[in-house]
Amino acid sequence: MYRQGPRVPISCPPGFKGRYTVSPGDTMFMLSQMFRTRLEALAANNPHITNPNVLIPGDVLCVPGLIPIPCCVTLNKQGRVPFGTGGVAFANFGPRGGQVVNVLATLPPPSFFGNYDLYIATAFFRDIGGFGNQLFPTREDPPTWATRIELPTVVSLAPDVRVVVQPSNSVSGVSGPVILQGNLGTCGATNPPLPEGICGVLLTGTGGTAASTGFANVRFEPAQATIVGINLPEPTTFGSQFTRYRAWIIDAQTQNRFRVEMQRIQSNLWVGQAAGGSLRNFDEIIVTAEPVPGTSSPTGPTVLRGSLVSCTAV
């Protein structure tokens, strides 16, 4: 029997640059309320959905947005910083509505830049000001710093929004120099600028976790991977034996696996980092719920998936 596959727009019109992947149970009416737009406008801006009353899980809809979110941009180094310093900003829809900017960075201790003890990431809007949040480190050495900036629902991310990372003093409130900076105007670029040898991959939710998302930065040789999972449910949702998430980079032909342990940074934001060996010919990334003891292969349900096929091993 013929089964229609997910429908994906070739492009999205101005004002509806965001893209949303339909989950089981979604309706046009429910989504129009979630994205705060008229039902008629949502249907009109998605002509590839010929019958608005019938949505198929996996369908991609054009939804209100001034930039093509979800998307990832590089945060470039500013001034003199240690080797390996860098970061990315991931623009996406928020778990409680509205839009968010997730920031992930490899940074030296804040004290490297002076009398500072923490980092702040800020998204600056023209004529409005900035919205920021503190970054928190993982336990690796050096750590990966991450945070999520949740924006008011009346604010929409635009091409001229600037994302910066600065050290700050928790007592005096004084901020230091801009260490990393990026502009959301590069969102949706065919080839987003990343450091040489690094491949950026968007991760999408699978099955009942379609609202989850994430991204990965991967260097093939020598192998280095940073994986971020966003809006992930509690691992125990899939069973009491599952207490954490792990990411796996897989060579489909040989079934070799590169494991990345992930740690909860805040709420439903998970980050992992690993290095060593080579990732040449590896072609897929998955994130799975796992029990505490380490395993050499995935045992739990897959919540995120992404492809390395379009990447070039450098």
Q: Write the CATH number for 182.
A: 2.60.40
Max Cα–Cα distance, the chain, nearest Å = 68
* Residue ending a domain, choose from 186, 215, 242: 186
Look at the chain and report how many structural domains it folds into.
3
Q: Please indicate, yes or no, whether residues 219 and 132 belong to a single structural domain of this protein.
A: no
Q: Please indicate, yes or no, whether residues 76 and 135 belong to a single structural domain of this protein.
A: yes
pTM for this predicted structure: 0.72
Does residue 1 belong to any structural domain of this protein? no
Q: Please indicate, yes or no, whether residues 82 and 161 belong to a single structural domain of this protein.
A: yes
Whole-number pLDDT of residue 246: 94
Whole-number pLDDT of residue 296: 82
Q: Is the Cβ–Cβ distance between 291 and 243 less than 8 Å?
A: yes
Does residue 233 belong to any structural domain of this protein? yes
Whole-number pLDDT of residue 207: 66
* Residue ending a domain, choose from 144, 159, 186: 186
Where in the sequence is the domain holding 26, given as residue range(s)? Answer: 18-63
Q: Please indicate, yes or no, whether residues 140 and 202 belong to a single structural domain of this protein.
A: no
Does residue 2 belong to any structural domain of this protein? no
Does residue 313 belong to any structural domain of this protein? no
Does residue 97 belong to any structural domain of this protein? yes
Whole-number pLDDT of residue 312: 45
Q: Please indicate, yes or no, whether residues 28 and 130 belong to a single structural domain of this protein.
A: no
Q: Is the Cβ–Cβ distance between 306 and 284 less than 8 Å?
A: yes
Q: Please indicate, yes or no, whether residues 56 and 76 belong to a single structural domain of this protein.
A: no
Tokens 């590896």, residue located: 282
Q: Please indicate, yes or no, whether residues 35 and 116 belong to a single structural domain of this protein.
A: no
Whole-number pLDDT of residue 1: 42
State both tokens at 312: 């070039």
Could you tell me how far CA 293 lies from the centroid of its own chain?
Answer: 27
What's the CATH code of the domain at 30? 3.10.350.10
Whole-number pLDDT of residue 310: 64
Q: Please indicate, yes or no, whether residues 77 and 182 belong to a single structural domain of this protein.
A: yes
Q: Please indicate, yes or no, whether residues 83 and 170 belong to a single structural domain of this protein.
A: yes
Query: Nearest Cα to 201, choosing from 140, 161, 247?
Result: 247
Q: Is the Cβ–Cβ distance between 307 and 263 less than 8 Å?
A: no
Q: Please indicate, yes or no, whether residues 228 and 268 belong to a single structural domain of this protein.
A: yes
* Residue ending a domain, choose from 186, 211, 231: 186
Element (H, E) at 75: strand 71-77
Per-residue pLDDT of the chain (314 residues; tens, 9 = 90+): 445 667 888 889 999 998 888 878 889 999 998 888 999 999 999 999 999 999 988 888 999 999 988 888 889 899 888 887 888 888 988 877 789 998 988 899 999 999 999 999 999 998 889 999 999 988 777 788 888 898 988 889 999 999 999 999 999 999 999 999 999 987 765 444 445 567 778 888 876 666 688 888 888 888 888 888 888 889 999 999 999 999 999 998 888 999 999 988 777 788 888 888 899 889 899 999 998 777 788 989 999 988 887 664 43
Whole-number pLDDT of residue 274: 86
Does residue 231 belong to any structural domain of this protein? yes
Q: Please indicate, yes or no, whether residues 56 and 75 belong to a single structural domain of this protein.
A: no
Q: Please indicate, yes or no, whether residues 177 and 85 belong to a single structural domain of this protein.
A: yes
Could you tell me how far CA 49 lies from the centroid of its own chain?
Answer: 27
Nearest-angstrom CA–CA distance, 181 and 45: 33
